[in-house]
Amino acid sequence: MRPFDDTPLSRDGKVLILAYDHGLEHGPVDFEDVPETMDPETVWDVATHDAVTGFAVQKGVAEAYADQYDDVNLLLKLNGTSNLWMGEPDSAVNCSVDYAAELGASSVGFTLYGGSNNEIEMAEEFRDAQETAREHDLPVVMWSYPRGQGLKNDTSPGTIAYAARQALELGADVAKVKYPGSKEAMEHAVEAAGPTKVVMSGGSKTSDEDFLTTVSDAIDAGAVGLAVGRNVFQRENPREMLDALEAVIFEEASVEDALDYL
Amino acid sequence: MRPFDDTPLSRDGKVLILAYDHGLEHGPVDFEDVPETMDPETVWDVATHDAVTGFAVQKGVAEAYADQYDDVNLLLKLNGTSNLWMGEPDSAVNCSVDYAAELGASSVGFTLYGGSNNEIEMAEEFRDAQETAREHDLPVVMWSYPRGQGLKNDTSPGTIAYAARQALELGADVAKVKYPGSKEAMEHAVEAAGPTKVVMSGGSKTSDEDFLTTVSDAIDAGAVGLAVGRNVFQRENPREMLDALEAVIFEEASVEDALDYL
Amino acid sequence: MRPFDDTPLSRDGKVLILAYDHGLEHGPVDFEDVPETMDPETVWDVATHDAVTGFAVQKGVAEAYADQYDDVNLLLKLNGTSNLWMGEPDSAVNCSVDYAAELGASSVGFTLYGGSNNEIEMAEEFRDAQETAREHDLPVVMWSYPRGQGLKNDTSPGTIAYAARQALELGADVAKVKYPGSKEAMEHAVEAAGPTKVVMSGGSKTSDEDFLTTVSDAIDAGAVGLAVGRNVFQRENPREMLDALEAVIFEEASVEDALDYL
Amino acid sequence: MRPFDDTPLSRDGKVLILAYDHGLEHGPVDFEDVPETMDPETVWDVATHDAVTGFAVQKGVAEAYADQYDDVNLLLKLNGTSNLWMGEPDSAVNCSVDYAAELGASSVGFTLYGGSNNEIEMAEEFRDAQETAREHDLPVVMWSYPRGQGLKNDTSPGTIAYAARQALELGADVAKVKYPGSKEAMEHAVEAAGPTKVVMSGGSKTSDEDFLTTVSDAIDAGAVGLAVGRNVFQRENPREMLDALEAVIFEEASVEDALDYL
Amino acid sequence: MRPFDDTPLSRDGKVLILAYDHGLEHGPVDFEDVPETMDPETVWDVATHDAVTGFAVQKGVAEAYADQYDDVNLLLKLNGTSNLWMGEPDSAVNCSVDYAAELGASSVGFTLYGGSNNEIEMAEEFRDAQETAREHDLPVVMWSYPRGQGLKNDTSPGTIAYAARQALELGADVAKVKYPGSKEAMEHAVEAAGPTKVVMSGGSKTSDEDFLTTVSDAIDAGAVGLAVGRNVFQRENPREMLDALEAVIFEEASVEDALDYL
C-alpha cells in the first residue's frame, strides 16, 4: 500500500526533488539574483534532467506547463502559503489530490508544521490527502518542518529526528527534513523514520565542495536523497550541478569525482 | 486545462473587464456622482460594448439581467463583502461556480487578500472554486489584493509582483492587480505572473490623457488589459471612453489617437 | 430565474408579509399586551386574510399548523435566534430549504446582519439557502438589517439604502428593510435595490393615521409593500387593519379612505 | 409531520420520561447514594414499568442493553457532555439520529442551552437532528435549558416560558423545562409552547407528598407529564414511586390517592 | 451491536494491548534507553506473541508492516498528536475508520481528553469514528484520559471512575484508563464502566514484582486486562514479560508463579 519503488519518484530507491515553489512561499524576491528563473519555463527545462525524480511545484505552475513536459516527474505540492501573512505557521491546501492526479502528478507533497498551533488541523488535512493519494497510488512526501510557538532551534538533532518520525507515524512515504548539522544526527533521523525514506532539505550554501560533501554525508547517513531549490536552479550551470548530484546520489560517486562535473 | 484563449474573456488575447460590484463593496454612496448608474440596467447597456470581454457583477445583479443581455460577456464575481463590516480583510463566497455556470457566466472572479489573517481560508475557498471552474472550462480571474495586518503600502512594486505571482501559483488564469506606480514595476509584475495574464486595476483619476497613458504603459509593460469601473460607467460618455480603451488595448493605438474618441 | 410574479408572495406585484416569529426573537414577553396572540392558531386565523401574501413563521410553528391552513401563504423564516443570547449579531439557520418546501412554503426568509462580525458567515449561509431556493422556485426575502460593531444608527438613509442594495447584490428577490425616516430616503433605498423589490418593515406606532400614512408614503416611494407584525396581530381588530392595509397597498386607496375600515 | 400521539412516547397523550444520563453529565458521583444504580441494568429494569414512555439514555447505554429490553421505550439522548469541562455551556452530539433509529429508539432528545455563546451552533445541530428525526417519524424532545453568560436565575417564569416557546419555534414535539416555581408560571410556559407538549423536569426533593403535589400541579397547569431521574431510580422503591406517578399523570388520581402506592 | 467477544481483541474475554505510538506522542526520545525499539520491526516481532490481542499503532506504522504480520492483531490508533505542540489537550484524527479496516485492523483506538476545552469536538469526532466502526464490526477502545483546564490530579479515583463511565456512555467497547492507585478505586472504575470492559494503562515502574502485582490487582478488581508499552518492549526480555503477563491476565496465575517467567 506504500507506493514508492515503482513510481517515478524513486530511481533505484533514490530521490532528487527539485523544488520550485519559492514564488508562492517567498515571492518574486527569491528570483532576484537570477532573474530568468522567475520564468517557470526556465526551471521546467532544468527539471527535464534525468536526475530529477520529483519536480515540486504548486498547482498553477503545474497546470500551465505539465502538458508540454511529459518527461518531467511532477511532484504536486498540495499546500503552501505566502509570507505576506505572518501568523502562527499554517499552510493552505491549494490543490486536491484528485486534481493533482488529473494534472499528471507522479507524487504529491504536503507541509506539516509540527508544534504549530495549527498542527492538529494540518495533520487532519494531511490524513485526507494521504488517504486519497493511496487511491491513486501516488507516493506522499511530507515537508516535515517543526515550527511555531516555543520551537526556537528547529534544526536540533532531536527536533529533526522527531520530524522524521512524525512523517512515518502519519503515513508519509518520504520525509523531507532539514539537515540537522551532522552526519550522526542525520543517521538518527533516518533511523527514526524507519521504513519512511528521508531526503535532506537545503544544506550548506558555502562552496560547491562543502555542499556536495553535506549531500554525500546525508546519503552515507542513510538518506535516500536531496530536495534542492535555488542551489540548483539559480546557478549559472544548473544542469552541471545536477550531473554532480546525480553522481553523488545515484552513482555513489565520491565528492571529488562529482566535483569534476562543475 | 487553462482556459482563456478560446473564451469570451479574451479578444485576441486581450482583456477588458468592466467591474460593477461597487454596490456590494462600497454601497450606494459610490453611485452618488452619477445617480443613474445605481440602476444596473444603465451599466449593463454600457457592458454591451464590444470592448468589454468581462462584465464583473455579483450573483444578484447577474440573475436579474443576464437573460436579457446575451451579448454581454458575463464575469461572475464569486466572492465579495460590504464595507459595513470592518474587520481583518475577508470576503464571503456569495455564488457557487455551478450556479455561475448556470447563469451563463463565461468567466469567474475571486478576491484573495494575501497577507490577511484570512488568507489561508480564502486560498482554500479559491481552490474549490478554481477546480470547479476547470470542470466548466471557465477562466478564473483573481483579484489579487494583498491587504491586512502589517501590509501598509499595498501598491509597492514588490507587493504587486508578489500578488501577480500568487495568482499564477494558485492557478488563476488572469491576475487583476493594482497599478504599481511605474511601467518598470508593471513589467516586473507581468514577468512574475509568467503564463498568467495580468490586467491592471484602476489607474490614475486625473485627466483622460493621464489615464489612457497609464493603460497604454501597462499594455506596453505586458499586461493584457484593464479592469475598470467608475472611470468608465460614471462618465457622461462611457461608450466613448470604451472606444478609446478599445483602441489602446486591442488595436495598439497611441494615446494620442485614442484621445480622439473622447 | 428570479421567481416572484407568479408566486403567492406577489399579489399584482405587491407584498404584505405578516411576521410572527416574535416568540423566538423576543420571547413570550412580546405577547403580553394581547395574551391570546401567544396561541399561534389565533394568528394563523388572521393570516388567512386575502391581503397576506406571506405569513412569516419559524419551522416549528409551520409544522404544527400548515396542514390545516392551506389558504395561508407560508413564508418560512429560515434563520432566527433568541435574545437570551447577547453577543455580536448572528442568527441560527433553523430550517433547511428542502424541508421548508416540504412544509409547503411558497417563499422563504433569511436575516442578514450586514456589518456584524458574523456577516461573512451569514452571507455564505444565505448563498446556500438562496441557491437551493432557486431549485424549488421559491422567492427569497432578505431581512436586511445592518447591525453590530460600529453601526449605531441603523436606520439612517445611507445604511438602509446599503441594506437594500446588499439584498440585490446577493440575490434576494425581496428586501425587507427598516423605514429610513422619510419618503425621500425610502425612494433612495428602492432605487438602490433596483430589480429587487423592497418592503418596509415596522413603521410608526403612534396613531392609525400616522401608521397608514407611513405605509402609503413607502408605497409612493416605490416599495411594493409592508412587513408587519404586532401592529396587526396585537390589535383588537387585526382583520380590519388588514382591510385598511389591503386598500393602501393593493388598491392604491388614500389614507383617508383606508381609515374607514378601522 | 409532528409525530407524537401514535408513538410510544405518548400514552393517551401523556409522557413520563425516566432520565438516566447522569453518568455522563455528572459522573459516577451521582450514584453514590444508591450504588447499585451505577449498574445500568438496575435502571433498565425499572424502566420496564408501564408508566415509562421514554427511557432517556446516551448511545453507549442504549447499545449495551436495548436488545434485551424490547419492552422499554427507548428515548435516545443525542447530545450531552461531562462536567469535567467547565466552559460556556455546550453539548457534544454523541449519536446520529440514523444510528438512534437503528438502535430501536422510539424518540430522541436534544439539549439546547438558550443564551449560551454556543446557542447558534447548538440550534443548527438541532436543526439537522430534528429534520432527520422527521424522516424516521421519531418525536423530538428538547431539553430546553437557558444557561450561560448573563443568565443567572434560569428558573424564573419568564425564562422558562421563553424556553418552552423556543422548543415550539424550533420544531420540538416536546419541551422539557425546569419547574418555574408555581402553577401559574407553569401554565404560562404551557401556553407559550402552544402545540408543543411540555414536561416538567425535576421538582421538589423534599417529601413524597410535596413532590407529587408539584407533579400534580404541573399536570393541572397543562403539562403532559414529567421527566424524572434520581427521584425515582435512587429510591428504595422505584417501582412504587412509578406507580404513584402513573396514577397522577395518566389516571388523574389525587395526590392523596397516589400516596397510597408508597 | 457491541463487538468484542468474537474479535481478536478478546481472548477468552481478556485483553492485552501492546501500545507503540510513542514515536508520535513523545518522539524518538522515548526510544533512547533501548535504541533498537525505534525500529518498528523489532516491536512488531514482539507483538506476534500470543498474549497480545491488540497492537496499537498509528496509520503509518500499520501501513508499512501489517502485510508482513498477518498473525499480529492490529489495533489502529485513530488519533494522536506530537508533543511539539503544547496547547490545551487535543488530538488529530490521523486515520479514517474505513482506511483502518482496509489495513486489516481488528480493533480501533481513540483518545478522549475529558475536561479539555476540546472535549466537545473530540467527542463528536469519536461519534463519527465509533459509528463507522460499528459498520465494520470493529471494537472501539477509548483512551479515556481526563486532562486540561482545571484537572490537576488526573488519576484520582473519582476522575478515573468518571473516565471509565464516559467510555460507556459514549459507546466505547473498552475503556483504557490510568491505574487509580488502589484496587478499591479500580473496582469502582470497573463498576462505573458497567458493560464496557476496562483495561489498566501503565502501572508501577519499580520492580517486576510490583508491576505484576498491580496488574494482578487490576484483574482482581474486574479489569479485563492491560495496555502496556515501554514496560514490555523496552525490556531486554520482552517476550518473557509477555509470558508473565499472559499468565496473570489469561491464566489467573499468581504473581509468584508469573515471576518464574522472568
Report yes or no: E54 and E39 within 8 Å, Cβ to Cβ: no
Q: Tell me the three cell numbers of residue C40.
A: 399561534
CB contact under 8 A, C99 and D134: yes
Identify whether B145 is a catalytic site residue: yes
Please identify which of the residues D176, D178, D183, D197 carries the catalytic annotation.
D176
Question: What pLDDT was estimated at residue E203?
Answer: 59
Chain D closest-CA separation from residue C95 CA (Å): 6
* Chain E environment of D41 (Cβ under 8 Å): 194
Residue E204 has pLDDT above 60, yes or no: no
Closest partner residue to D93 (CB to CB) among E124, E134, E150 is E124
Residue B259 has pLDDT above 90, yes or no: yes
Alpha helices in C39-151 (DSSP H): 40-47, 59-65, 97-102, 119-135
Give the architecture (CATH level 2) of B15-259: Alpha-Beta Barrel (3.20)
**Minimum mean pLDDT range among B192-206, C16-30, D212-226:** B192-206
Closest partner residue to E81 (CB to CB) among A119, A191, A192 is A119
- Cα–Cα distance, D206 to B165 (Å, whole number): 74
Question: What pLDDT was estimated at residue E238?
Answer: 95
CB contact under 8 A, A119 and E59: no
Question: What pLDDT was estimated at residue E174?
Answer: 98
- Cα–Cα distance, B106 to A44 (Å, whole number): 31
Residue D204 has pLDDT above 90, yes or no: no
Closest partner residue to B170 (CB to CB) among A39, A58, A85 is A58
Chain A neighbors (3+ CB pairs < 8 Å): B, E
Chains A+B touching (3+ CB pairs under 8 Å)? yes
How would you write B109-121 as a 3-class SS string?
A: EEEECCCCCCHHH
Mean pLDDT of B37-49: 97
Chains C+B touching (3+ CB pairs under 8 Å)? yes
- Cα–Cα distance, A188 to A180 (Å, whole number): 10
* Chain C environment of D88 (Cβ under 8 Å): none
Report yes or no: A105 and A138 within 8 Å, Cβ to Cβ: yes
Question: What pLDDT was estimated at residue A4?
Answer: 96
Question: What pLDDT was estimated at residue D1?
Answer: 67
Q: Tell me the three cell numbers of residue E243.
A: 509470558
- Between residues 125 and 164 of chain D, which touch chain E (CB distance below 8 Å)? none
Contacting residues for E256 by C-beta, under 8 A, at least 6 apart: none
* Chain D environment of E126 (Cβ under 8 Å): 94
Mean pLDDT of E244-256: 97
CB contact under 8 A, C28 and D167: no
Question: What pLDDT was estimated at residue B1?
Answer: 66
Question: What pLDDT was estimated at residue D203?
Answer: 59
Residue D152 has pLDDT above 80, yes or no: no
CB contact under 8 A, D82 and E116: no
Chain A closest-CA separation from residue E82 CA (Å): 7
Question: What pLDDT was estimated at residue E1?
Answer: 66
Nearest chain B residue to A83 by CA: give it: B115
* Chain D environment of E165 (Cβ under 8 Å): 23-24, 27-28
CB contact under 8 A, B93 and C158: no
Question: What pLDDT was estimated at residue E206?
Answer: 72
Does the beta carbon of C239 lie under 8 angstroms from any beta carbon of chain B?
no
Domain positions in chain A: 15-259
Give backbone dihedrals phi and psi of D215, rounded to 5 degrees, phi first.
-60, -45
- Residue B202: band (very low, low, confident or very high) from pLDDT cuts 50, 70, 90: confident
pLDDT in tens, chain C (262 residues): 699 999 999 999 999 999 999 999 999 999 999 999 999 999 999 999 999 999 999 999 999 999 999 999 999 999 999 999 888 999 999 999 999 999 999 999 999 999 999 999 999 999 999 999 999 999 999 999 999 877 876 889 999 999 999 999 999 999 999 999 999 999 999 999 999 999 999 755 678 999 999 999 999 999 999 999 999 998 889 999 999 999 999 999 999 999 999 8
- Cα–Cα distance, C50 to C71 (Å, whole number): 9
CB contact under 8 A, D28 and E165: yes
pLDDT of D23-81, one tens digit each? 999 999 999 999 999 999 999 999 999 999 999 999 999 999 999 999 999 999 999 99
Nearest chain E residue to D27 by CA: give it: E162
Chain B neighbors (3+ CB pairs < 8 Å): A, C
Chain B closest-CA separation from residue A181 CA (Å): 32
Average pLDDT, chain E: 95
pLDDT in tens, chain A (262 residues): 699 999 999 999 999 999 999 999 999 999 999 999 999 999 999 999 999 999 999 999 999 999 999 999 999 999 999 999 888 999 999 999 999 999 999 999 999 999 999 999 999 999 999 999 999 999 999 999 999 877 876 889 999 999 999 999 999 999 999 999 999 999 999 999 999 999 999 755 678 999 999 999 999 999 999 999 999 998 889 999 999 999 999 999 999 999 999 8
- The string of DSSP letters for chain E reads ----TTSTT-BTTBEEEEE--HHHHT-GGGGTTSGGGGSHHHHHHHHTSTT-SEEEE-HHHHHHHGGG-TTS-EEEE-EE--SS--SSS--EE-S-HHHHHHTT-SEEEEEE-TTSTTHHHHHHHHHHHHHHHHHTT--EEEEE---BTTB--TTSHHHHHHHHHHHHHHT-SEEEEE--SSHHHHHHHHHHHTTSEEEEE----S-HHHHHHHHHHHHHTT--EEEESHHHHTSS-HHHHHHHHHHHHHS---HHHHHTT-
* Chain D environment of C67 (Cβ under 8 Å): 1
Question: What pLDDT was estimated at residue B126?
Answer: 98
C-alpha distances in angstroms, A69 versus A37, A136, B83, B196, B242?
A: 17, 21, 45, 18, 40
Q: Say what percent of chain D tops pLDDT 90.
A: 90
Roughly what angle, to the nearest 10 degrees, separates helices B238-250 and B208-220?
30
Mutation target for E interface from D22, D32, D76, D84: give the one with most E CBs within 10 A: D84
Chain D neighbors (3+ CB pairs < 8 Å): C, E
Mean pLDDT of E47-59: 98
Please identify which of the residues B14, B176, B178, B183 carries the catalytic annotation.
B176
Nearest chain C residue to D149 by CA: give it: C85
Active site amino acids of C: 145, 176
Report yes or no: A9 and A174 within 8 Å, Cβ to Cβ: yes
Question: What pLDDT was estimated at residue B85?
Answer: 87
Q: Tell me the three cell numbers of residue E222.
A: 474486574
- Cα–Cα distance, A146 to A148 (Å, whole number): 7
Question: What pLDDT was estimated at residue E154?
Answer: 84
Residue E149 has pLDDT above 90, yes or no: no
Helix (H, G, I), strand (E, B) or coil at D177: strand
- Between residues 66 and 95 of chain E, which touch chain A (CB distance below 8 Å)? 67, 80-82, 84-87, 90-95
pLDDT of E99-112, one tens digit each? 999 999 999 999 99
- Residue E172: band (very low, low, confident or very high) from pLDDT cuts 50, 70, 90: very high
Closest partner residue to D85 (CB to CB) among E116, E126, E169 is E116
Average pLDDT, chain D: 95
Strands D92-93 and D79-80: antiparallel
* Chain E environment of D60 (Cβ under 8 Å): 167-172, 196
* Chain C environment of D116 (Cβ under 8 Å): 85
Please identify which of the residues D20, D65, D113, D145 carries the catalytic annotation.
D145
Of C185, C189, C157, nearest to C176 by C-alpha is C189
Of C133, C116, C17, C159, nearest to C75 by C-alpha is C17
Question: What pLDDT was estimated at residue E119?
Answer: 97
